[in-house]
Structure 1
């Protein structure tokens, strides 16, 4: 009975968390790799709801957080108190997105999480990398990452959240001082991803090889158990200097294009 209830809850997760509109941005649709609803996401939601309903936990966190804020940055306070935890990809979703082979081993492999916050999302990468590093973001660091990616021929994974302005204006969530914003144009989620790809990443020397859509979830409080924001996760290839102009020209010439995608109806299957 318990398993049936969890399966029902899994199916009740919003479909739009993982789906995109077929008719928009056709060349980006060809690169889209769908993610699926999974039990790790459900566990995070249920744990967030349980903590939000526990007045003892909320009072303790608020009191300790107030005291610690005089001595530590907000991300450190959140990490110590287990507060404002975030969820993006489960370990299995991360493995599927990177198409890691069954015989993949973590020995000798390293990963750098840029803009890691309190590290709750970084931990999902630990099963696949022996050395996990985390740091905050900067424009200079982005250029350094492109150079390192070229030197070692390693991929780059980034995620970006697209808050809905209307939902943000109605939300009781306090502003997140750790977030940095990037001005992106577009009416729909798909148009925003296309803008990011063609107007920001390509000129900076990165080509998108695949991408997926998942919800960026953050633990809430007694008013809102958790907060969800549409987010894109993109797998990038660092471009050589002589490739950057060609990539920009290609994106400019593609326009809307005409394509079909066969990956659209699979998300009801293979719950993880």
Structure 2
């Protein structure tokens, strides 16, 4: 047994003793929060309480929008209502199980403490095989695109693919799958999954004749330094009648991991309003349409992330848009 496994085993035994009394209290109608001195034991107790709290969440709310608050009839009419499905539940179940492994979570905490000052959070997640994301299931992707299960397109370029887990949800519909990623650790993970790497700074090069049936930027625009420039680059590599798939957390909060100390981007995504409904309206009208994009369909989905010792999983609210660009659209009439 490895040293860290032995240490974890001992710590876990100690934690069980501290938590036993907490379990007794958890069954009462009016709960009393026990005072637990040990930080780890307290964290585990809080985690148990979180699990109970999560059981009461109305997950249907994550998919709803007040469409009456969206001014554009065109935007309203292209909304597709989604719901919690089997694949989403499977991701949550796996995340909950993985995040409950006390030994693993303690090991992750130790590595993060030791290496966190030098490595980015993305690279740490790659090293530790944690922090996987979930944007949509295969069935939700098919509903959004209107494709059949046997649909096959030539090629996909997934920009900022991370560990490739999100890419894997829809990659089977393409003959070739290309990816970009800033993190060198994640690039190795992507190659191990069989994806073809494109250089972050060269994927849109005029010297490269490759064009793509779909280009996706899933939760990338609010995390990259120059999102407007990226939106201008994408159409250059789009095949005729190709699609662009964008996921963006709204209300918007731009943050660039590598731009310390301010973490601010050099380009601002100019959305107006405070609510999701107001911002999706202005995203289409003020950002995407002036750049030549045409909205085909869109939806609201929970953007899920694997949990840790504190809670089973994390989530934000994504808007996912299927677009085409006027430069790549062929009039079939």
1:117 has 2:162 as partner? yes
1:157–1:234 CA contact under 8 A, matched in 2? yes
Paired residue for 2:275, among 188, 195, 200?
Answer: 188
| Cα 1:103/1:86, change in 2 over 3 Å | closer
Give 2:234's aligned residue: 145
2:270–2:287 CA contact under 8 A, matched in 1? no
> Deviation above 6 Å: which 4+ runs of structure 1?
9-12, 178-181
Give the superposed CA RMSD: 3.0
Give 1:177's aligned residue: 257
Give 2:59's aligned residue: 14
Alpha-carbon shift at residue 112 of structure 1 (Å): 1.1
| Cα 1:214/1:11, change in 2 over 3 Å | farther
| Cα 1:59/1:211, change in 2 over 3 Å | same
Give 3-state SS (helix, strand or coil) of 1:152's partner: strand
Alpha-carbon shift at residue 155 of structure 1 (Å): 0.9
Give 1:60's aligned residue: 107
Structure 2: give runs of 5+ residues left out of the alignment: 1-53, 182-223, 329-333
Alpha-carbon shift at residue 176 of structure 1 (Å): 8.0
Alpha-carbon shift at residue 59 of structure 1 (Å): 1.7
Paired residue for 1:158, among 246, 255, 267?
Answer: 246
Q: Max radius of gyration: which structure? A: 2
Alpha-carbon shift at residue 229 of structure 1 (Å): 1.1
Matches within 5 A, 1:1-272: 13-25=58-70, 26-27=72-73, 28-65=75-112, 73-105=120-152, 109-136=154-181, 138=226, 139-149=228-238, 151-162=239-250, 177=257, 182=269, 184-240=271-327
1:10–1:38 CA contact under 8 A, matched in 2? no
Give 3-state SS (helix, strand or coil) of 1:187's partner: coil
1:87–1:217 CA contact under 8 A, matched in 2? yes
Structure 1: give runs of 5+ residues left out of the alignment: 1-8, 166-174, 242-272
Number of aligned positions between the proteins: 221
TM norm structure 2: 0.58
Alpha-carbon shift at residue 142 of structure 1 (Å): 2.7
Give 3-state SS (helix, strand or coil) of 2:321's partner: strand
TM norm structure 1: 0.70
Q: In the aligned structure 1, how far is the partner of 2:100 from the partner of 2:252?
A: 26
Greater relative contact order, per chain length (Cα 8 Å cut-off, separation 6+): 1
